Amino acid sequence: MRQCSAARCLAALLSLAALAFIAGCSSTGVKTPVAASITLSPSSLSLNEGQVLAITATAVDYSGTTVAVDFTYSSSNPALASISSAGAVCGGQFDSNSIVCSPNGDGQATITVTSGSAKASATVYVHKQVDRVVIQPVSECESMGTVLNPVANAYNTTAPGCSVSAPCDLTSTVGPFSFGSGDATVVASAAGIDPHFSSSTNSPTYVGGGTISGTKGQTCNLTDFSVGGGTGINPTFDQQTKSPTYVSGGAISGSAGQTCNLSSFNGVTGATAVVTLSDTNTITTGTRLTITSSGTGGGSTAPTSATLSNGTATCSGTATVITQLQTTVGVDPVIGATATVTLTGSNVIASGTQLNITNEGYGAVAAPTTATLSSGTATCSGTASVITTLNNTTGLEAQNPGATSLFASVAGVNSVGTPFTVCPVQSIVVHDANSSNTYFTLTGGQTQNLVADVLDSKGATIKPNLTWTSSQAGAASVTSDNATASIIGVGPGTTSVTATCITPNCNVGLPPQYSYDVVLAAVAGQSPDTVYAASTKSLTMVPIPVLTNVVGTAITLPNYPNSIVASPAGSDVYLGSASGVMQYNTTSATVTTLGFNGKVLGISADGSLLLVADPVTNSTYLYDISLGATLATAVGPATAGAQTPDNLWSMSLIGQTMVRLGYTVPVTTTNLNAIPNGIDISAQGSLTYITSNAGHSVDIRSTCDQSDLQTLTANNPTLIGHLPNGTGAVAVDAPQLDLINTTQPTGSCPTLASSSLTGYDLGAGSFNPQQLLVSSGSSRVWIVTDQTSVLTFDLTTNTPTAVPLAGGVIAYDGGLTLDGSQLYVGTIDGTVHRIDSSSLTDVQQIAPGLKDANSNAVTPDLVTVLPK
């Protein structure tokens, strides 16, 4: 045997080591990436004979990072289905240059892609040309949470022996169909984040990102999981901004139910949507856009316009839209996924920390790589990088109650949609999370958990996305998560809390379902409210804090007001005017003139919507304050109006009709039996009460469809107000008060309820009512009249009382504190009178000092109370 010296042997060993190192490195010294696994998209192909489609291969290394590697492609039957070196698949055999694809019959082949030891395969189905795809109708609704198994067929109508009247069925040869829906919030892919930790991929895990302030053991929340990168249109509807929606624009020819396509959203690349016609040649303002692609980025501000083009209708031109951006964007983000992640040190989440998936969501076709951080027990913000995988659930899943269309596609051919309904909500009952209690006494900051028992039309118990609202946010606010909610005490007063299933969050495209009952929450103490007094003849308004009853600094108004309302949320006072409706913000102490004129008839409980009547333009507007846009317009100036407790609809009286205006619904006009006087909506929202002096009646209608339920005989009813505890309403029927007792509503649309009317003489003789006020605790009613007394009625004892006004003056307009302890009315003597509810006496007269342009004292005929 030949031997070597120690030096020579060492040199040889070093040379071998160097060669081994070089073999694993590139010429630049960077390690060559190695594929641990390969993913193919699509996972199977359905090709017409001679058709060419590309297949995309993606490789990841052992850390889960996408890497660039070389791929080798092969086919189990190259004559039937061949593949080029670039991943183009031919439904037949390619020529030598992989350009011309020649068909060679029907059948199946397997395409295999390899890189090193990693391998992935996809089945190719080659078949005769698919000319038509038909999805089979679904005969009945399915409850939310049900995985759907739609069935479709593929047909050829052009091959020899096949025709439109006698199509040839290709279903058995085309492979799996792809299914989708017109509304991903109703029906979507069942896939979501896999909540189980995988030891091989360390998934789901937090990788990095975001701003964090906290200590070890605290948590951050994660939402908006998405395939990251850039910004695009948020495809899910936002409850506060009512986005995305169609506002106006474009030329349209079609019929109700047809669709227009939207594309070229300004500022966002690749975003597309469809919008449904609500009537012949009409898309109603506020109609929701169905985002079919949220875009691939480029947006820094939310798009306000898009290009209309043909869908099933004929559409062209530019549409005005309301949208918002999502913080991350990609292909089909996971809808509704949520998670928490725990801090491993002060202000630190260690890379690789496992996510606790609290809701795996739905609708995904690709695993999310980013999520939005927000406060949990720590303070967190920004975008986090994450590693996730999808669950193994396949097919479509019924996500939320509502109506949509199901579609099928194969070989690039789409079916016509077939209508499908996720079973609508049939009943909602709200109560304490741990008992059947519906009345609570809270302190400021105290929380009470609530739950809604929800049944759908099949009798299944479900937890849909309900809209929870508090009628008096100054007393208690409400936060919610689908069928659960929490009331948080804010300040003295009483509020009604309701839950509603209404489009676009629930019963999508179907009539709404209101809760059968309400929850009452009372917070003790004296309300720290502020009275605002103004005059139709003055350009000033003054605040009067109820804790001091001392007039504050006068506020200059740009226009003479004709009406006044206070936001129940306690932030703004609105004054109608023929020269521009005015908004006074208490935080900034500034007055803003809005872009329309008229008399303010009402405001929604959350302070987001104004109902305004303008006789000059012969119109009634529903105005969204946060968006600064008119959502709906009706012809004719309304004389009265009321808002539903869910803050989405308004009912107004115009002539002898009732007109509905609201989000995502067309303006609807209902003819009434007689000329109406007053209107209000029950605390639950399900019933609408309409008085008619001419008809000597109180008409009760179902809010959801405006159908007539019951007519109660009365004398001369005018003003009407609902009882916040949900037991009915009161109507002024001079010389008496009509107490309307309504049983708890039942059923779906139309909601059913039985009411009875009892009249109580107020003992004041003949009078003309000017204003009706009901205390938030449903204990007392106040009536401002043209007499020298203010009338009140104790609802606990059914006892009337006349409260004389000091000086024997007449009152014009007034407001009631949130706790119901004080009534303030402006009177002809130029002062605001304070009436105490306990003693039922006029205890103070406050001079607001309002003057006209000539410095003459004027009457405070516009008075309201802003809750705090």
C-alpha to C-alpha distance for 83 and 819, rounded to whole angstroms: 77
DSSP-derived secondary structure letter, 217: T
Could you tell me the two tokens for 845? 């007269």
Helices (H) and strands (E) in the chain — how many of each? 1, 80
Q: Indicate the average pLDDT of the chain.
A: 91
Domain 425-523 has CATH 2.60.40.1080: yes
Q: Is the peptide bond before 750 cis (omega within 30 degrees of 0)?
A: yes
pLDDT for the residue 362: 85
Question: pLDDT, tens digit, for every residue of 589-648?
Answer: 999 999 899 999 999 999 999 999 999 999 999 999 888 888 899 999 999 999 999 999
Question: Does the pLDDT of residue 489 top 50, yes or no?
Answer: yes
pLDDT for the residue 242: 67
> In angstroms, what CA-CA distances link 453 with 340, 431, 435, 456, 683?
27, 8, 12, 10, 18
Could you tell me the two tokens for 96? 């030598």
Enumerate residues 6+ apart whose C-beta is below 8 A from 319.
246, 247, 248, 249, 250, 260, 262, 275, 305, 306, 307, 308
Q: Are 521 and 443 in contact (CB under 8 A)?
A: no
Q: Are 98 and 88 in contact (CB under 8 A)?
A: yes
Specify the fold of 132-190+394-421: Immunoglobulin-like (2.60.40)
Question: What is the rounded average pLDDT of the residues 42-67?
Answer: 89
- Same CATH fold, 425-523 and 132-190+394-421? yes
**pLDDT-derived band of residue 500, with 50, 70 and 90 as boundaries?**
very high
Strands (DSSP E) contained in 56-200 are 56-60, 66-67, 72-75, 82-83, 88-90, 93-94, 101-102, 107-115, 118-127, 132-135, 147-148, 152-156, 168-169, 178-181, 187-189
Q: What is the value of pTM for the model shown?
A: 0.80
Could you tell me the two tokens for 275? 């919008």
**pLDDT-derived band of residue 711, with 50, 70 and 90 as boundaries?**
very high
Domain 37-127 has CATH 1.10.10.10: no
Question: What is the rounded average pLDDT of the residues 161-188?
Answer: 93
Within 13 Å, how many C-alpha atoms sit on residue 695's CB side? 17
Q: Among candidates 202, 32, 240, 30, which has minimal Cα distance to 116? A: 32
pLDDT for the residue 237: 60
Q: Counting Cβ atoms within 10 Å, is residue 266 exposed (0-12), middle (13-18) or buried (19+)?
A: middle
Element (H, E) at 619: strand 619-624
Q: Among candidates 463, 464, 455, 399, which has minimal Cα distance to 428? A: 455
Enumerate residues 6+ apart whose C-beta is below 8 A from 863.
531, 532, 533, 534, 564, 812, 813, 814, 815, 824, 825, 826, 832
> In angstroms, what CA-CA distances link 361 with 358, 388, 393, 467?
9, 13, 12, 19
C-alpha to C-alpha distance for 166 and 437, rounded to whole angstroms: 64
* Domain range summary for the chain, segments of one domain joined by +: 37-127, 132-190+394-421, 191-229+328-393, 232-326, 425-523
C-alpha to C-alpha distance for 44 and 105, rounded to whole angstroms: 18
**pLDDT-derived band of residue 239, with 50, 70 and 90 as boundaries?**
low
pLDDT for the residue 62: 81
Question: pLDDT, tens digit, for every residue of 510-542?
Answer: 999 999 999 999 999 998 999 999 999 999 999
pLDDT for the residue 298: 62
C-alpha to C-alpha distance for 809 and 792, rounded to whole angstroms: 17
C-alpha to C-alpha distance for 365 and 190, rounded to whole angstroms: 9
Question: Does the pLDDT of residue 697 top 50, yes or no?
Answer: yes
Instruction: Tell me if residue 11 falls in helix, strand or coil.
Output: helix
